[in-house]
Amino acid sequence: MKRNILIVVIVLLIVSLGLAFFFFKHGDMTEVSINDKFKEIGYSKKEVSVILDNVLKKDYDIILELGYDESLTDILTTDGYDAKNFEKYIEYYMKNKDANISDIVTIMNSGFYLASYPASNLLASLTLEKYYINDYVARYLDYGNSHDMNAKDIISIVNSKADLEFYSESYDSNLDVNNLVLVNKFYHLKEDYTPSDLVSLSGQYNRGANNKMRKEAADALMKMIDVARLENIILYNMSAFRSYDYQVNLYNRYIKRDGKEAADKYSARPGYSEHQTGLCADLNEISDKFDGTDEANWLRDNAYKYGFILRFPKGKEHITGYKYEPWHFRYVGLEAAKIIYEDNITLEEYYAYYIEKNSD
């Protein structure tokens, strides 16, 4: 019995060694064979070594079909090269042979479908930006190719629709997003829209006739005013909710005084005023003199902690469509306010990336 078991063990051992030797030799022959094939189509010993080190075996046939191309090793040694994307690199490279190899790798690494767009440094730069939206790529390129500016600014402008003429297109504001509703020179509210949860600001919190806000925004504003007062910063509302009819009279008065073109730079057309949302407030002094005051500086640095943003910041006029207003603060909630503040973006930019893009 023991002898039979021993014989079986020996036989199994011999078979195992034979199979191991076979596969070892088979593997060597395969590697030798592929080495020879790469050399036959023109690759040097050094280039073959680079290929074997950087290309998955399943993609060897792509190289053999491609034939010798001196740019192949440039692709394989470019920063950011990922063997899993090899087939994408080659397909895109074949359409863009004169393009910078680094741009090709960057564009294909982005994960966005861009195979139909010519490779360029501009396109590669765009895909690296945080707020890039693939649906807008054609507009990014159109705007970028006709304006000398960096990729970040191109994306900011296009995402905000500021590459279009203000008021050239009109959309109904999406009330379903609640505190994040966007009202600007493209998005408008109905004539009869009035928030159902308006409450009045009074006492130390208000010195203006337009003293109503939506309850959540009003609670946040009063909390902010209370905290600021502890730091000897006195804040109060001067103008919050305004009805559609109120804005009609205000806007027409500005037109009569300064003309339509000038009025559009600082006043909203009826239905396009953020004040109709009940989510914003003009604080303290509605004047350029407010800029640089202790109160304005405190608001700039702290308002986001209470869910408010400086709605029309300096340097963003081309995006918001309005001149800098250091007194105008808009409630968007804590999460959005923190992102907008830390990333130094506008509500338009936030809305495009976090609301519109995700609703498709």
Q: Which residues are catalytic?
A: 325
DSSP state of 129: S
64 half-sphere exposure, CB direction, 13 A CA radius: 13
142 half-sphere exposure, CB direction, 13 A CA radius: 8
Measure Cα distances from 132 to 105, 323, 350 in Å: 17, 26, 12
Dist. CA 114–CA 112, nearest whole Å: 6
Vertex 101, ends 95 and 104: CA angle to 5°?
Answer: 55
With tokens 């994040």, the residue in question is: 180
Exposed/middle/buried for residue 350 (C-beta within 10 Å: 0-12, 13-18, 19+): buried
The three-state DSSP-derived secondary structure of 188-204 is ECCCCCCCCCEEECCHH
Task: Tell me, rounded to whole angstroms, the distance of Cα 289 from its chain centroid.
Answer: 34
Dist. CA 127–CA 169, nearest whole Å: 27
Dist. CA 309–CA 102, nearest whole Å: 39
Task: Tell me, rounded to whole angstroms, the distance of Cα 189 from its chain centroid.
Answer: 26
Dist. CA 235–CA 298, nearest whole Å: 10
Q: Where would I find the beta strands (DSSP E) of the chain?
A: 171-172, 187-188, 198-200, 206-210, 212-214, 237-239, 280-283, 308-310, 328-331
Say if strands 212-214 and 237-239 run parallel, antiparallel, or are unpaired.
unpaired
Dist. CA 310–CA 333, nearest whole Å: 13
